[in-house]
């Protein structure tokens, strides 16, 4: 039986896993839960039914026989080990763990910009303040990532690892939600993104992946439609 | 060189790093940037020294200058999780098989989600009504706490440690996040789960850790910085 990967019908945090599976040419079932509406299929049915299978029922989940995982970083690292896309030595372990945490911080910042507290009455004001803080930080953040990559082809060094799929996705979120011009000063990052997009399996997946909102419609304040158009700044 | 760990003078993201180093018996320098809150309630002193001087001097030495940072003869690292994972590998406190590796990752991710939310509650966005936002998000989180603790308790089960039958680096992180919750919220929530209470006590009894937790260096109540809307002062009575 093929493994199952499940998530909402948004980009969210699942794409790095799908990129890795596409590259590794793994046949799997992709189950999508509809985010718009009351999300009953997940919250009222499957989350409860999977309560004995999954330790922490959540989306994404990955089930392959007796391997039953949630948490996107856990799933990605597991598949990285399984498909020989992980660290080959201690130096690579250090690089992988450092860049994963660094881009995870960036993803969390984007998430804070996209999801001002639901209970606040001034979500627009909060969103704009955080958006400005985020954009002010971007040149230095991208600069440090570019410097870390240096003249390597991949984040770990000489070979592709699972970390590259996560870095790609976070940087791609920035391009989708903000202005790709921010990458103009960093040709090595642009080349890095193209290198990943050119990988066999990945290129075909990206060509056929449906256009989706990055964040959940009806809940997120920003990035919540597949036709979202970033501003110029 | 003597290994060096540097952070603010609070628990924050350093406690679990201090704990693992004490457990491993490492003679390290536990350097801290101090906060000092003035009459006008602005925390500065070492704050400026870090952001305007030292962080800049560390460019070229650290790939992503930040606190905490850790240096020894072979590594120069930031990001608390990356440091903790490195120390776990170095001091034989890592998973030993595939099942342990993904158990460690999964519980780490679950706890990190909690840690992120606690930070968001403590430091709401920079708007005038941030106290109101804090009160609402704190209450909303407290309502989810029993169910979250229940799933963590079930995950631990009858194991002594999160990975299974031996101590690993994630146990120090789990201690810190679970202890944060019983300091920031009513300890009655965690007391519903005897295996979690016993687990925390088991960690508190570890040689090296016991001495650290009893020392002035631990500062049990100073979880966040002094400008946080909770967790930043010695006296805090949880309301939920």
- Give the pLDDT confidence of A136-151 residue by residue, as tens digits: 999 999 999 999 999 9
0.90 surpassed by complex ipTM: yes
The beta-carbon neighbor of B82 closest among A70, A94, A112 is A94
B32 to chain A, minimum CA–CA distance in Å?
A: 22
Give the confidence band of B39 by pLDDT, cuts at 50, 70, 90. low
The residue count of chain A comes to 233
**B-chain residues near A108 (CB < 8 A):** 116
Tell if the pTM clears 0.90, that is, is over it. Answer: yes
Q: Is the pLDDT of residue A232 over 90?
A: no
Whole-angstrom distance, CA of residue B224 vs CA of residue B183: 11
Whole-angstrom distance, CA of residue B8 vs CA of residue A174: 30
Q: Give the pLDDT confidence score for residue B182 in this predicted structure.
A: 95
Say if the Cβ atoms of B63 and A122 lie within 8 Å. Answer: no
The pLDDT of A188-208, averaged and rounded, is: 97
**3 state DSSP class of A215:** coil
Whole-angstrom distance, CA of residue A26 vs CA of residue A127: 39
Size of interface A-B (CB pairs under 8 A): 94
Q: What angle do CA B86, A139, A196 make, to 5 degrees?
A: 65
Say if the Cβ atoms of B81 and A97 lie within 8 Å. Answer: yes
Supply the DSSP string of A47-70, one letter for each residue: HHHTTTT-SS--SSEEEETTEEEE
For chain A, say whether B62 makes contact (Cβ under 8 Å): no
Q: What is the pLDDT of residues B67-117, one digit of tens each?
A: 999 999 999 999 999 999 999 999 999 999 999 999 999 999 999 999 999
The pLDDT of A204-210, averaged and rounded, is: 92
**A-chain residues near B126 (CB < 8 A):** 129
- For chain A, give the percent of residues with pLDDT over 90: 86
Say if the Cβ atoms of B63 and A71 lie within 8 Å. Answer: no
For chain A, say whether B95 makes contact (Cβ under 8 Å): no
Q: Give the pLDDT confidence score for residue A82 in this predicted structure.
A: 97
Give the confidence band of B40 by pLDDT, cuts at 50, 70, 90. low
The pLDDT of A199-217, averaged and rounded, is: 92
Higher model confidence: residue B232 or residue B47?
Answer: B232
- For chain A, give the percent of residues with pLDDT over 70: 100
Mutation target among A74, A86, A133, A143 for the B interface, most CBs of B within 10 A: A74
In the predicted model, what is the mean pLDDT of chain B?
Answer: 94
Return the minimum-mean-pLDDT range out of A130-134, A223-227, B220-224. Answer: A223-227
Tokens for A41, please give them.
Answer: 């299929």
Give the confidence band of B42 by pLDDT, cuts at 50, 70, 90. low
Q: Is the pLDDT of residue A69 over 60?
A: yes
- For chain B, give the percent of residues with pLDDT over 70: 95
Whole-angstrom distance, CA of residue A160 vs CA of residue A153: 8
The beta-carbon neighbor of B77 closest among A55, A56, A94 is A94
The pLDDT of A27-53, averaged and rounded, is: 94
Q: Is the pLDDT of residue A101 over 80?
A: yes
Q: Give the pLDDT confidence score for residue B38 in this predicted structure.
A: 64
| CB-neighbour burial class of residue A188 (10 A; exposed 0-12, middle 13-18, buried 19+) | middle
């Amino acid at each position: 039986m093929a493994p199952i990967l499940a998530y909402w019908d948004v980009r969210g945090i699942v794409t790095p896993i799908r990129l890795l599976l596409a590259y590794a040419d793994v046949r799997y079932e992709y189950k999508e839960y509809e985010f718009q509406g009351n999300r009953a299929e997940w919250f009222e049915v499957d989350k409860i039914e999977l309560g004995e299978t999954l330790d922490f029922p959540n989306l994404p989940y990955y089930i392959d026989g007796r391997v039953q995982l949630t948490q996107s970083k856990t799933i990605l690292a597991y598949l990285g080990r399984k498909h020989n896309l992980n660290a080959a030595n201690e130096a690579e372990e250090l690089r992988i763990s450092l860049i994963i945490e660094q881009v995870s911080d960036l993803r969390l910042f984007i998430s804070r910009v996209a999801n001002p507290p639901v209970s606040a009455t001034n979500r627009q004001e909060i969103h704009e303040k955080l958006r400005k803080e985020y954009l002010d930080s971007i040149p230095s953040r991208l600069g440090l990532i570019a410097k870390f990559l240096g003249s390597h082809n991949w984040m770990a060094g000489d070979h592709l690892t699972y970390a590259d799929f996560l870095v790609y996705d976070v940087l791609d979120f920035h391009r989708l939600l903000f202005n790709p011009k921010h990458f103009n000063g960093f040709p090595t990052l642009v080349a890095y993104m193209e290198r990943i997009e050119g990988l066999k399996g990945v290129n075909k997946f990206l060509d056929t992946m449906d256009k989706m909102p990055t964040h959940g419609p009806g809940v997120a304040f920003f990035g919540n439609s597949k036709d979202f158009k970033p501003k110029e700044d | 060189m003597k290994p060096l760990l540097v952070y603010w003078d609070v628990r924050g993201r350093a406690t679990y790093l201090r704990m693992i180093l004490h457990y491993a018996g490492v003679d390290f320098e536990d350097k801290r940037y101090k906060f000092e809150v003035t009459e006008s309630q602005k925390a500065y002193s070492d704050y400026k020294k870090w952001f305007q001087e030292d962080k800049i001097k560390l460019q070229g030495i650290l790939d992503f200058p930040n606190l905490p940072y850790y240096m020894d003869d072979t590594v120069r690292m930031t990001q608390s999780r990356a440091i903790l994972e490195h120390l776990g590998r170095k001091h034989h406190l890592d998973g030993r098989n595939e099942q342990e590796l993904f158990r460690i990752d999964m519980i780490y991710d679950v706890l990190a989600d909690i840690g992120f939310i606690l930070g968001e509650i403590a430091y709401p966005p920079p708007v005038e009504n941030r106290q109101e936002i804090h009160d609402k998000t704190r209450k909303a989180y407290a309502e989810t706490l029993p169910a979250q603790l229940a799933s963590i308790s079930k995950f631990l089960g009858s194991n002594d440690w999160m990975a299974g039958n031996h101590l690993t680096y994630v146990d120090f992180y789990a201690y810190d996040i679970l202890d944060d919750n019983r300091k920031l919220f009513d300890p009655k929530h965690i007391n519903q789960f005897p295996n979690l209470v016993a687990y925390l006590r088991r960690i508190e009894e570890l040689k090296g850790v016991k001495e650290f937790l009893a020392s002035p260096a631990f500062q049990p109540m100073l979880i966040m910085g002094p400008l946080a809307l909770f967790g930043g002062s010695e006296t805090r009575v949880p309301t939920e």
